[in-house]
Amino acid sequence: MVVTGWNWGAIVIEVGLAVHKRIEGIVEDNGGKNWFAEDAATFGDRLAAARSTQGMTQKSLARRLGVSLKTLEGWENDIREPRANRLQMLAGVLDVSISWLLTGEGQGVGSESEARSARMSELLHEMRMLRAEMQRSVARLGVLEKRLGQAAGEAHDRGS
């Protein structure tokens, strides 16, 4: 039995492209302004954005850092500031630079390195190739099902 109506290859590629666009779109706007620059965002804004980009909740990040949820909320709400050792841990866990967390300059969310961008391109290419292969397999499966149906019909006719 063939499940029809779902184009899994297209779904996988669309999800991959959506993730890539989300990462690239985080720092874009119509004027080319960096939303996370020091004059446009606070430390807490950048911290919350980096946490969100990593797909982490406040609770999960607090647990990884060994701080209370209240402490992390204080950082994100710009009520408190982390000590240097926690700032270094934040940067490492969130895959951003300390300078980006503090000022918005440097490696932050959406500032993919060339290696990461190249890797994503490779993965998207591989996904497209897999999609084409899946389409060929589905077409081949259809041919085989048709042949099986014909063979079953012939066998039935001979038996009657």
Six token digits for residue 81: 């500031």
* pLDDT at 160 (0 to 100): 62
Q: What's the structural domain count of the chain?
A: 1
* pLDDT at 108 (0 to 100): 72
48: containing domain: 27-109
Q: Whole-angstrom Cα distance, residue 145 to residue 63? A: 53
Q: Tell me whether residue 119 is in a domain.
A: no
Q: How far is CA 116 from the centre of its chain?
A: 12
What Cα–Cα distance (Å) separates residue 28 from each residue in 9, 32, 35, 85?
Answer: 29, 6, 8, 31
* pLDDT at 29 (0 to 100): 44
* pLDDT at 23 (0 to 100): 46
Q: Tell me whether residue 129 is in a domain.
A: no
Q: Tell me whether residue 102 is in a domain.
A: yes
* pLDDT at 28 (0 to 100): 45
Are 17 and 127 in contact, with CB atoms under 8 Å apart? no
Q: Whole-angstrom Cα distance, residue 66 to residue 2? A: 50
Six token digits for residue 122: 């490779």
pTM metric for this prediction: 0.48
Q: Whole-angstrom Cα distance, residue 54 to residue 61? A: 10
Q: Tell me whether residue 141 is in a domain.
A: no
* Residue-level pLDDT, tens digit, the chain, 160 residues: 444 555 555 555 555 555 544 444 444 443 555 555 555 678 888 888 888 888 889 999 999 999 999 999 999 998 988 898 999 998 989 888 888 888 887 777 765 555 566 677 788 888 888 999 999 999 999 999 999 999 988 888 887 6
* pLDDT at 26 (0 to 100): 46
* CATH at 63: 1.10.260.40
Q: Tell me whether residue 140 is in a domain.
A: no
* pLDDT at 115 (0 to 100): 55
